[in-house]
């Protein structure tokens, strides 16, 4: 705002004492001070308000005014309440340094002037920022992205002093401004996402205001502009996939102009969201093609050829063929015909980011397809030596939902269910069909549990489950291969006879002496072989459950 506008505001009651030629200066802020040297608190462009408590005699005016001018102050307003009239020495000093000087009547509070200036300056900044946002939107919709959501959030921080972050419905941090300071803790992001999902499901009008940890946040939905969002008939079709903008401020007393500005910001970020979503098209198509080959019983060689095409896209720069893991997800709504496949697909693409890597760019490693009811993720894992120690690698069912369970439960409310199943890692096309059936069966195990959000892994498909007649043959083969393939591979390379040793050890009921005698081995040699079996498979042959698993695997092989 201009200084001249202050004189035109009757409610302020300002009287100009000097500097009429400088009234076109722009005011960027306001500061009240009675310090003799306020320079450390000035950044330039301020209107300084003072009650003159710093002035002890006439000699103090000259150095005070000189400091203000050196720091870029645009004008000085002196209150009359302390000394009556503004002293002449201050008028002379301001005239000498060409600093406009106003007298503030004793009936006018400094707070009134401050509030007026801040309101005007904030409105002008919002207008300037709105123009920037509009220009940025046109750039993004007509060509390559101009830096993504972070650029817009930086503008909010620098121009409007707003700390803001973009969050996924799972609570994952997608973007934040550098000016926003430290990133909120993961727990805070998760609770904000949960509050947003709850408010959306109940139909409350945005922005949603939340008090959390002593701070007030305003939550703005980021509605996708894609075709699926435009054709959605039910809030449940998009509630678990839309992003949100969290602003650390109370939007309850904002002017309509500022609310419109934030709405424009969410639309701009939605463009970037759709751009990222479109970038997943290739990975989704790859997953769909592999899935169709697996489900139609295509030859392993044909599936392997498709996987060789997928590997460079999902794991660029990988030197050797990866292992593959399958994750199956399903979203069901009570008493609704909402198609759960697209919702589950969007969720898997968000959920699978964190377990694989801390870097958001690694979300490109996941290819997710969907049928009408379920989503299937093909997750590549770097190949490991067959002599690894048997420790679990890749996506773990329990860890998959640990940090996102609360937000997703809020989004599902009391009528939705999310279930996930995770397969073991397989290293060839031959094992992929078994992995898919294993993940589907694990999901059915999760679906039998109480709760809105449940997951189960291949480890939970215990031996007794395999005895049930409805378990597919592919799952049996996957179970057998997972236990015995590492031992067979080791035997081929080292002629170590681990498989015969395992058979004899189980046939002797775990007796070291009887088994060593049968195999004509020293007991220490037998202990070494059994230790190698345990290391390669991650099992413990002193446990009854693991002995039973090996027994069944050998009988089904």
What is the chain's pLDDT, residue by residue, as a tens digit (557 residues)?
788 888 878 778 889 999 988 888 888 778 888 888 988 878 788 899 998 989 899 999 999 999 999 989 999 999 887 777 899 999 999 999 999 999 998 888 888 888 788 777 665 555 555 555 555 554 444 444 445 677 778 777 776 778 899 998 888 888 887 766 778 888 899 899 888 888 888 878 888 899 988 889 999 998 765 545 444 456 666 777 788 999 998 888 787 777 877 887 887 788 777 777 777 787 788 888 888 888 888 888 888 888 777 766 666 555 455 778 889 999 888 776 667 788 888 888 888 874 434 333 444 567 888 887 899 988 877 665 444 444 455 667 667 777 677 788 777 777 788 889 988 888 877 888 888 888 888 888 888 777 888 888 887 775 455 454 445 677 778 888 889 999 999 999 998 999 999 999 998 988 999 999 999 999 999 999 999 999 999 999 988 888 888 988 887 77
Helix axes 498-507 and 512-519, enclosed angle (nearest 10): 130
**Secondary structure element (H or E) that encloses residue 195, with its range:** helix 186-201
Q: What pLDDT does residue 206 have?
A: 84
CA distance 55 to 63: 11
DSSP output for 454-522: EEEEGGGS-HHHHTSTTS-HHHHHHHHHHHHHHHHHHHHHH---HHHHHHHHHHTTT-HHHHHHHHT--
Helix (H, G, I), strand (E, B) or coil at 271: helix
CA distance 347 to 340: 11
CA distance 102 to 86: 9
Give the count of alpha carbons within 13 A of 215, CB side only.
15
Q: Domains in the chain, start-ordered, CATH in brackets?
A: 3-108 (3.40.1390.20), 147-279 (3.30.450.30), 281-461 (3.30.70), 480-556 (1.10.10.2840)
Q: List phi, psi (to 5°) of 298.
A: -65, 160
CA distance 111 to 124: 20
Strand 243-247 with 164-167, pairing = antiparallel
* CA 72, chain centre distance (Å): 42
Q: What pLDDT does residue 505 have?
A: 93
DSSP output for 210-246: EEETTEEEEEEEE---SHHHHT--SGGGTTTT-EEEE
Burial-class residue 261 by CB neighbours within 10 Å (0-12, 13-18, 19+).
buried
CA distance 440 to 293: 17
């Amino acid at each position: 705002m201009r200084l001249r506008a202050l004189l035109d505001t009757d409610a302020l009651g300002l009287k100009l004492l000097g500097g009429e030629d400088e009234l076109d200066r722009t005011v960027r802020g306001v500061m009240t001070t009675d310090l003799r040297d306020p320079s450390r608190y000035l950044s330039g462009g301020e209107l300084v308000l003072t009650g003159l408590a710093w002035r002890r005699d006439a000699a103090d005016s000259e150095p005070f005014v000189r400091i203000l001018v050196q720091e870029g102050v645009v004008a000085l307003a002196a209150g009359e309440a302390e000394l009556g009239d503004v002293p002449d020495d201050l008028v002379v000093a301001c005239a000498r340094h060409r600093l406009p000087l106003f007298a503030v009547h004793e009936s006018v509070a400094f707070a009134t002037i401050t509030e007026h200036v801040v309101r005007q300056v904030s409105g002008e900044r919002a207008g300037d920022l709105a123009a920037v946002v509009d220009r940025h939107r046109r750039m993004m919709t007509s060509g390559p992205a101009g830096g993504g959501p972070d650029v817009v959030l930086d503008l909010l921080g620098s121009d409007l002093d707003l700390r803001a972050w973009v969050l996924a419905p799972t609570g994952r941090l997608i973007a934040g401004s550098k000016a926003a300071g430290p990133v909120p803790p993961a727990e805070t992001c998760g609770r904000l996402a949960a509050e947003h999902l709850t408010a959306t499901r109940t139909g409350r009008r945005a922005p949603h205001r939340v008090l959390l940890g002593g701070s007030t946040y305003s939550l703005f939905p980021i509605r996708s502009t894609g075709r699926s969002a435009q054709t959605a008939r039910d809030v449940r079709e998009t509630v678990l996939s839309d992003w949100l903008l969290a602003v650390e401020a109370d939007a309850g007393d904002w002017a309509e102009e500022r609310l419109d500005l934030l709405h424009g910001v969410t639309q701009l970020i939605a463009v970037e969201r759709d751009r990222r979503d479109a970038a997943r098209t290739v990975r989704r198509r790859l997953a769909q093609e592999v899935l169709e080959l697996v489900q139609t019983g295509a030859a392993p060689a044909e599936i392997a050829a498709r996987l060789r095409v997928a590997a460079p896209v999902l794991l660029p720069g990988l030197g050797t063929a990866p292992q593959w893991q399958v994750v199956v997800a399903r979203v069901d709504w009570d008493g609704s015909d909402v198609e759960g496949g697209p919702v589950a697909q969007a969720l898997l693409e968000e959920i699978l980011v964190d377990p694989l890597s801390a870097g958001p760019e690694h979300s490109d490693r996941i290819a997710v397809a969907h049928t009408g009811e379920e989503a299937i993720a093909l997750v590549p894992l770097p190949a490991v030596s067959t002599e690894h120690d048997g420790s679990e690698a890749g996506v773990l069912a329990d860890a998959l939902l640990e940090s996102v369970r609360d937000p997703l439960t809020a989004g599902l409310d009391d009528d939705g269910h999310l279930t996930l199943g995770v397969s073991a890692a397989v290293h060839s096309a031959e094992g992929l069909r078994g992995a898919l059936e294993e993940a589907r069966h694990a999901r059915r195990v999760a679906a039998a549990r109480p709760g809105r959000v449940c997951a189960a892994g291949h480890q939970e498909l215990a031996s007794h489950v395999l005895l049930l007649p409805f378990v597919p043959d592919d799952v049996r083969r996957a179970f057998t291969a997972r236990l015995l393939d590492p031992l067979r591979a080791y035997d081929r390379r080292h002629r170590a006879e681990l498989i015969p040793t395992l058979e004899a050890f189980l046939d002797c009921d775990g007796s070291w002496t009887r088994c060593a005698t049968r195999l004509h081995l020293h007991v220490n040699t037998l202990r070494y072989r059994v230790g190698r079996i345990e290391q390669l498979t991650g099992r413990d042959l002193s446990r009854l459950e693991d002995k039973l698993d090996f027994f069944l695997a050998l009988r089904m092989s």
